[in-house]
């Protein structure tokens, strides 16, 4: 299980670009300067199991 604030992988970012191009009908001429995620609510982060956060 990945922590909700862990950075996305290169494959995940590529998937986002592929999905946006397909679903929003964006051509190859469209460039993405940056791709950012909306941070999850603080309650989601705090609810993440302490053991999975590297704490015991």
pLDDT of residue 9: 92
Gap between the Cα atoms of 51 and 36, Å rounded: 27
Token output for 3: 């922590």
**Cα–Cα distance measured from residue 42 to residue 47, given in angstroms and rounded to the nearest whole number:** 8
What pLDDT shows up at residue 29? 92
Distance between CA 16 and CA 14 in Å, rounded?
5
Tell me how far apart the alpha carbons of residues 27 and 13 are, in angstroms, rounded to a whole number: 17
Predicted pLDDT of residue 51: 59
CA distance 18 to 24: 10
3-state secondary structure of 46: helix
Domain ranges of the chain: 10-53
2-54 confidence digits (pLDDT tens) = 888 888 999 999 999 999 999 999 988 999 999 888 899 999 888 888 655 55
């Amino acid at each position: 299980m990945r922590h909700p604030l862990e950075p996305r992988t290169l494959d995940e970012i590529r998937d986002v670009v592929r999905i946006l191009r397909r679903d929003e009908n964006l051509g190859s001429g469209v460039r993405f300067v940056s791709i950012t995620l909306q941070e999850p609510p603080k309650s989601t982060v705090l609810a993440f199991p302490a053991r999975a956060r590297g704490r015991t």
